Structure 1
Amino acid sequence: MKTLQNAMAALSMIADSSEPVAVAEIGKRLDLPRSSASRLMSSLRTGGLVEQDAKSRRYSPGPLAWRLGVGYHAVGYDAELIEQAMMSLTLATGFTSWMAVLNSANIVLLRQHQGQVPSQFTVRLGQSLPAHATAVGKALLSRLPDSAISALYDDRLPRETDHTIATPLALLTDIRNIRSKGYAASAQEAFPGVISVGGAIYGAVSNCAIGLSLSFPVGLGDPEVVAALLTDALRHVGRELGDHYWLGTVT
């Protein structure tokens, strides 16, 4: 049981890190001798849960971890409908679409449809991003009560760019507007030069909120026009899934 707990803790470290993690860091965090930490990571590598860079010897998520992450929550009929909406939106706009779910104060990216417009940022499926800085993250947060959102944050929010919302009060103000409009926007809050619009649907099968967003470079799209296309798609899928928000039975 202790070995399993250590494996879970090591995987959590790697999942939370934006950079590959050294075995020394893992051993220190888990209070393990370097030899024990190396054996643990070797077992995880053999199972495909992590992979090791040949030069740096550091660890990052492996192919099995990506397969598990991509399948997380978004399964069955929910995912099929949302993925159809993603493809249609990407085709209509030329912009990249994303599917994500909320994990505490972060989002986890589950699906992507690459648009024709070149991306100005690089993210990978399974990667976590701060919810308060992303359009899809704020849309997912809007499905929580204010008290649950406040419990996720301290007095100051981590800044990704100079445009990132800095305080919980400002975030709550933005989220109340999102609930009213049906969509969220991130104007260079997560990545410089990138605008995103996003919304959320409560999945009937997955039993969780699933987010959908579109991202595009500043100056290459009208956020309000993109948001109108997005909300039309969300409304269609949300009503199909019986989401009370999109059915208009909740405010």
Structure 2
Amino acid sequence: MKTLYEVPALKRAHDVLEILAQATAPVRASALVEGTGLSRSTLYLLLDSLEHRHWIAKRSDGYIIGLKLFELGSAYVRHDGLQVAFRNEASAFVAAHNEVVQLAVLDAAEVVYIAREDAQRPVRLVSDLGSRLPAHCSALGKALLASLSDEEVTAILPERLAAMTSHTLTRRSALLRELAGIRACGLATEREEVSVGLACFAAYVGVTALGKRVAVSTSVPLGRLDGRREKQIVTGIARIASRIAAAL
């Protein structure tokens, strides 16, 4: 196994940015000292350097994530044409169905949401851009996991899976059976496994030229679904995935 060598300065910067990314308000230096374990002198030098590069910004008596960091992160969906392909197809879906569309990538046992096209009518989501969810209970995650072999899934997921609601599958063996069905039909679904009252439908797009394993989904309140509408939604999501794959 390859030995990991940590560059101390990079680790310190990463620790600071992690804390700021999870905060909902400016974080004071005193809280960063406590959260990172750095001395005040080391921390202030680091904060000055990060602020100079606009990776962080000073607000009131604390710090927030800076604009330059947003610019750098946005390159993740821009460089391989993924953002343009997603926007073109997602906007057509929203126009036809008035429901949100989301794009996510697989990162080990989690999905990370990297793009979203919102509809005019509201829906309560837990998938802000940059947020993570366990792959085993989200439709996007299941679509992505189904693109792997059972052996690969077994290597990244434990036998007992964490429950987000009372509807979440909590056994890997049951998930593997569901993934086999997803591979056969090309569509992943979940009802109230992540959020009560919400159903999600997802389809696998593929692997981009830069090696990103991606899928698309929509999330619809159960009160807005019946058999006819669900069929329309499912067909639309499958079409989006196919067209994005072709564009890439």
Superposed pair shares fold, TM > 0.5: yes
Q: Residue 249 of structure 1 corresponds to which residue in structure 2? A: none
TM-fit CA distance, 1:140: 1.5
Cα distance per residue 1:110-144 (max 9 Å; x no partner): 21111022121354322222222221122122222
User: How far apart, CA to CA, are the structure 1 residues paired with 2:59 and 2:169?
Assistant: 35
Cα pair distance change 1:225/1:66, threshold 3 Å: same
User: How far apart, CA to CA, are the structure 2 residues paired with 1:123 and 1:10?
Assistant: 23
Cα distance per residue 1:78-97 (max 9 Å; x no partner): 43223211111111110011
TM-fit CA distance, 1:40: 3.0
Is 2:158 aligned against 1:171?
Answer: no
TM-fit CA distance, 1:227: 1.1
Alignment of 1:1-251 (within 5 A): 1-12=7-18, 17=22, 27=33, 30-41=36-47, 43-50=49-56, 54=60, 57=62, 61-73=65-77, 75-121=79-125, 123-221=127-225, 222-241=229-248
State the SS of the aligned residue for 1:7.
Answer: helix
TM-fit CA distance, 1:45: 4.5
TM-fit CA distance, 1:240: 4.9
State the SS of the aligned residue for 2:203.
Answer: strand
1:152 maps to a residue whose letter is: I
User: How far apart, CA to CA, are the structure 2 residues paired with 1:115 and 1:196?
Assistant: 15
Superposition TM-score, scaled by structure 1 size: 0.78
Cα pair distance change 1:129/1:51, threshold 3 Å: farther
Contact 1:98/1:109, CA 8 A, preserved across alignment: yes
User: How far apart, CA to CA, are the structure 2 residues paired with 1:25 and 1:145?
Assistant: 44
User: How far apart, CA to CA, are the structure 2 residues paired with 1:9 and 1:182?
Assistant: 39
Contact 2:94/2:118, CA 8 A, preserved across alignment: yes
Superposed CA RMSD: 2.9
Contact 2:101/2:216, CA 8 A, preserved across alignment: yes
TM-fit CA distance, 1:9: 3.7
Aligned length: 238
User: How far apart, CA to CA, are the structure 1 residues paired with 2:56 and 2:116?
Assistant: 22
User: How far apart, CA to CA, are the structure 2 residues paired with 1:225 and 1:211?
Assistant: 18
User: How far apart, CA to CA, are the structure 2 residues paired with 1:197 and 1:12?
Assistant: 31
Cα pair distance change 1:220/1:11, threshold 3 Å: same
Cα pair distance change 1:121/1:199, threshold 3 Å: same
Contact 2:104/2:111, CA 8 A, preserved across alignment: yes
Contact 1:74/1:206, CA 8 A, preserved across alignment: no
User: How far apart, CA to CA, are the structure 1 residues paired with 2:183 and 2:9?
Assistant: 44
Q: Which runs of 5+ in 1 are unaligned?
A: 242-251
Q: Share of identical aligned residues, percent?
A: 24
User: How far apart, CA to CA, are the structure 1 residues paired with 2:80 and 2:189?
Assistant: 28
Q: Residue 4 of structure 2 corresponds to which residue in structure 1? A: none
Contact 1:198/1:230, CA 8 A, preserved across alignment: yes
TM-fit CA distance, 1:193: 1.8
User: How far apart, CA to CA, are the structure 2 residues paired with 1:150 and 1:231?
Assistant: 26
